[in-house]
Amino acid sequence: MLRIGLVMLQGARHSHISALERASSETGIGIEIHELRKASDLESSEPHAIVMPGGESTTMRLTGNDAISSLLPAVFEWIRADQMRPVLGTCAGAILLAEPGDGGGPLVDASVERNGFGSQAESFQAEIDAIALDREFPGVFIRAPRFADIGDDAQVVARLGDEAVGVMTRNRMALTFHPELSQDSGFHEWLLETTAKQWVEA
Ligand code: GLN
């Protein structure tokens, strides 16, 4: 049974729960989802992988760094402890991976521009090329960030036309769209399969 930690700071997290459950039945990989609100939740649940949902990154930084929660520093410490730990960050979660803002350097090798698609196209849906899944994928973009620079240590895992909308550095994947809001649980299946390989078969 894999333990998946879901960062519950703000924003739509419940759709990640359904996407993870669908991914679990698709792959046959059993999971337990642990909702993380405080640093102590991370310690007690000892997750094998973490999902960082979207929301508003400024709000998430505030709530995640307050003295009662202290969840964000604990999550960053958990990720930094082993560069192979599987992490899926979507939208604002991708912003936090690219710019953790804790003085410790980026967790994926890319920089982002917040709300990079501007106000005319604040939110839209488009078929993207999900390179990591080897198929098209329905991309749901909501006030999405845009990757500015992508470094050598990041691999592009999703494209909208010519533009990268997903990158991965080792087992840390940052997507600027919301895979949990589509019916296709492919990226969540990627997380479960990667986690199973990382922890169970290793
Ligand atoms: N615009 C948000 C931010 O800058 C991200 C939006 C989202 O997660 N849907 O944090």
pLDDT at site 200: 66
Q: Looking at the 3D structure of the chain, how many domains does it have? A: 1
Asked whether 69 lines ligand 1 (CB < 6 A), one says no
Contact, 174 vs 164, CB < 8 A?
Answer: no
Q: What is the distance in A from the centroid of ligand 1 to the CA of 89?
A: 12
CA 196/CA 1 separation, integer angstroms: 9
pTM recorded for the entire structure:
0.96
The residue contributing the CA closest to ligand 1 atom 4 is 114
The secondary structure of 37-69, three-state, reads CCHHHHHHHCCCEEEECCCCHHHHHHHHHCCCC
Residues facing 175 on adjacent strands: 90, 166
Of 10-14, 81-85, 111-115, least confident by mean pLDDT is 10-14
Whether residue 202 has pLDDT greater than 60? no
- Whole domain around residue 25: which residue ranges? 2-201
Asked whether 174 lines ligand 1 (CB < 6 A), one says no
Whether residue 5 has pLDDT greater than 60? yes
**Residue 25 belongs to domain with CATH number:** 3.40.50.880
Token pair for 81: 């402890």
| DSSP conformation class of 10 | S
